[in-house]
Amino acid sequence: MNAIALGLVAAVCWGLHDISIRYLSRTVPLLGALVLVLATGLVFHTLVLASNDALRLPRGDAFWLSIGSGAAFLVASLGLYFAFQRGPVRLVSPIIGAYPIASLGFAALSGAVITPDQVAAVLLIVAGVGVVASLADTSGDPTPPKGPTILLSLASALGFAVTFKLGQMAAALDGELHATLLARMTALGLLLTFLLVRSAPLALGRGAVVPLILMGALDGIALLAVLSAGRVAHPEFASVASSMFGMFTIVLAAVFLKERMTMPQWGGCVTAFCAIGYLAM
């Protein structure tokens, strides 16, 4: 697979993951949900590595890059969960979905050649996702003060950009499976340490366990897909394509939950996909 295809796989998985957050966030403790999602992802990656007889941690510089990626992933996940809990989606999704701009900046700082037409295509993708999300029908959602929601969304966006950059660098040095395993271990370990200090409620109802395990598997596949791009050309394009998860969340809500999609929203989808197609050329 090329970087664009890997990113689209991640976008679909995170779209399904986020539509679940959207409807579970008001009925389960978010930190407890995140623990189960991260733990499921860790089990998923451990089983994949064990099946390949390659169960070990990354070595050398990849070890530290993976730890940094995991810490950033925890920041991104906490920001995402709490931003979606506060809502509305039309505010949260466009901000978080703008992380490809930071990813492109990181790539340029690393010496990658980014052409003006590629920058334009990325901005079109971000704009298309933003149009779809900003016009989402969330009239029934609560609207708490926007300031903290914006800060949480920005923290999540920057966290994702750093996660993917460090994780892809680690994957290029010692393989995506090993990098993802340690990143998961780091994120879960830091979260459990935080919970021990905070003594936050973690109890989950039985009805939430199976959806959260499925969310963990989807999250595991998505992160693995994006970090796998570290070993192909233009890994930053996987981050760009994966940013369409916000758009997929709303499209999936329209398909499965019968939420209304307007013509401008469909126009945003077409714009984003055309720009993705251009990058893939």
CA 227 to CA 231: how far, in whole Å?
Answer: 8
Query: How much is the average pLDDT of 97-121?
Result: 80
Spatial contact of 248 and 15, defined as CB atoms under 8 Å apart: yes
pLDDT confidence tier of residue 83, bands split at 50, 70 and 90: confident
The pair of structure tokens assigned to 100 is 């490809």
CA 79 to CA 12: how far, in whole Å?
Answer: 20
pLDDT confidence tier of residue 39, bands split at 50, 70 and 90: very high
For the chain, what's the residue count?
281
Instruction: Note the pLDDT tens digit of each residue in 158-190.
Output: 999 999 899 989 988 988 888 889 999 999 999
Provide the mean pLDDT of the chain: 82
Would you give the distance in Å from CA 100 to the centre of its chain? 11
Instruction: Note the pLDDT tens digit of each residue in 217-253.
Output: 888 888 888 888 877 787 878 888 887 887 777 777 7
Query: How much is the average pLDDT of 140-161?
Result: 81
Work out the percent of the chain whose per-residue pLDDT is above 70: 89
pLDDT confidence tier of residue 141, bands split at 50, 70 and 90: low
Q: How far is the CA of 115 from the CAs of 107, 111, 119, in angstroms?
A: 12, 12, 6
CB-facing half-sphere around the CA of 254: CA atoms within 13 A:
18
- Specify the pLDDT at position 22: 67
